[in-house]
């Protein structure tokens, strides 16, 4: 069943419901990384966007969006905005990213202040790309 039908606007899922629906350890890996590295908690949000309607999970640090995660059956989509400040560093690292992420980056036009990349996280290599893009967007805290 589609995510936005399973959990409508008046029926928010619990975080463990999302994890079960996605059914991939990649979801848990990214969420654990975000919480432990940035000391932040996820925020559930409902979107009426026609491209990706339904409940999603947002991560923000000091008012800046790190990413928005959209649950899918068997995988998830990570929305990461690579803004003008991050573009040069992202382009330097681009050759080290998976072919999928390289092609997506090149095919995503720059608009509304950045490249709004909807990344299908289906394998570990793509998850690593997502983590590195997030680290470009907001530098992780240095250990004390």
Going from the N-terminus, what domains does the chain have, and what CATH number goes with each? 19-137 (3.90.1150)
- The structure's pTM equals 0.92
Average per-residue pLDDT in the chain? 92
Rounded to whole angstroms, what are the CA distances from 136 to 25, 85, 88, 140?
Answer: 23, 9, 10, 9
Burial class (CB in 10 A: 0-12, 13-18, 19+), 103: exposed
Q: What's the average model confidence in pLDDT over 25-46?
A: 95
| H or E stretch at 82 | strand 75-83
Q: In terms of residues, how long is the chain?
A: 144
Each residue of 111-128: pLDDT tens digit? 888 999 999 999 999 999
Each residue of 70-98: pLDDT tens digit? 999 999 999 999 999 999 999 999 999 99
User: Looking up tokens 């999302």, which residue turns up?
Assistant: 18
d(CA 62, CA 100): 30
Closest by Cα among 99, 95, 98, 94 to 115: 94
């Amino acid at each position: 069943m589609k995510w936005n039908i399973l959990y409508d606007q008046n029926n928010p899922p619990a975080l463990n419901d999302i994890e079960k629906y996605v059914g991939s350890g990649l979801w848990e890996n990214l969420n654990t990384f975000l919480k432990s590295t940035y000391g932040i908690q996820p925020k559930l949000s409902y979107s009426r966007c026609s491209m990706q309607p339904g409940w999603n999970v947002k991560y923000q640090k000091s008012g800046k969006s790190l990413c928005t995660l959209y649950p899918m059956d068997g995988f998830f989509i990570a929305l990461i905005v690579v803004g003008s400040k991050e573009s040069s560093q992202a382009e330097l690292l681009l050759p080290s990213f998976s072919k999928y992420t390289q092609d997506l980056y090149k095919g995503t036009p720059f608009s509304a202040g950045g490249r709004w990349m909807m990344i299908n996280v289906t394998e570990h290599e793509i998850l690593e790309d997502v983590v590195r893009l997030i680290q470009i967007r907001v530098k992780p805290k240095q250990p004390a």
